[in-house]
Amino acid sequence: MQALQVLAREHAAIAACCERFEAEIGATVARCEVDAEAMDRLLRFFEVQVDGHHQEKEERIFMPRLLTRAPGADVFVLRFLFDDHGAQRQLLAQMRAQVEGVTYGEPNSIAVLVRAAKSYLRAQRQHSRWEQTTLFPMARRILGPRDDRALLNGFRRLDELWGTAVWDAARSLAEWLDQRRALVAV
């Protein structure tokens, strides 16, 4: 199914950004300070492209189609996706609040940010793994070619509304991070 390839490609882009985020968290711990611009851009990617764009594809296009065709036993398994997305949203909000706390000199904000970031990374990776190993095989079993075309059309419309593809946004973020690191201090 081509629709699953689109989602898998987005998962790969998200995984690459997770690695960049993990490196930034490591640098935060080493410096005992937050690079506010880098952290803001990384969080904005996760808030807009992952929680917004990618998860909208799953929640508004992919899952409803799958839910209408899934037998009863599979419906229970599918509910996990929505719960998982909600937990990720809470961690993103917590991280955003801690970045703001750091800028105002709040004690312990860095420690709380780091814990939330590690939890988010673990949740994001587990979630992608669950989709690849459980959700996608289920979709291949349940959905047919007509469903695939409908999903692809919905994904295209959503990309047009967002004005970009998730992997393009991830590439732009990586380029910005690379350029920023390549600058030589004078």
pLDDT in tens, 141-175: 999 999 999 999 999 999 999 999 999 999 999 99
pLDDT of residue 184: 54
pLDDT digits (tens, 9 = 90+) for 10-20: 999 999 999 99
pLDDT of residue 166: 96
Please, is 163 exposed, middle or buried when counting C-beta atoms within 10 Å of its C-beta (0-12, 13-18, 19+)? Answer: exposed
CATH code of 18's domain: 1.20.120.520
Domain carrying residue 176? 2-182
User: Which contacts (CB < 8 Å, 24+ apart) does range 33-41 have?
Assistant: 33/102, 33/110, 34/99, 34/102, 34/103, 34/110, 34/113, 36/99, 36/102, 36/103, 37/180, 38/177, 38/180, 39/99, 40/99, 41/173, 41/176, 41/177
pLDDT of residue 58: 93
Mean pLDDT of the region 43-59? 95
Residue 94 has pLDDT above 70, yes or no: yes
Total number of domains in the chain: 1
pLDDT of residue 75: 78
CB 28 within 8 A of CB 35: yes
Of the two residues 7 and 181, the one the predictor is more confident about is 7
Look up tokens 């979630």; give the residue: 127
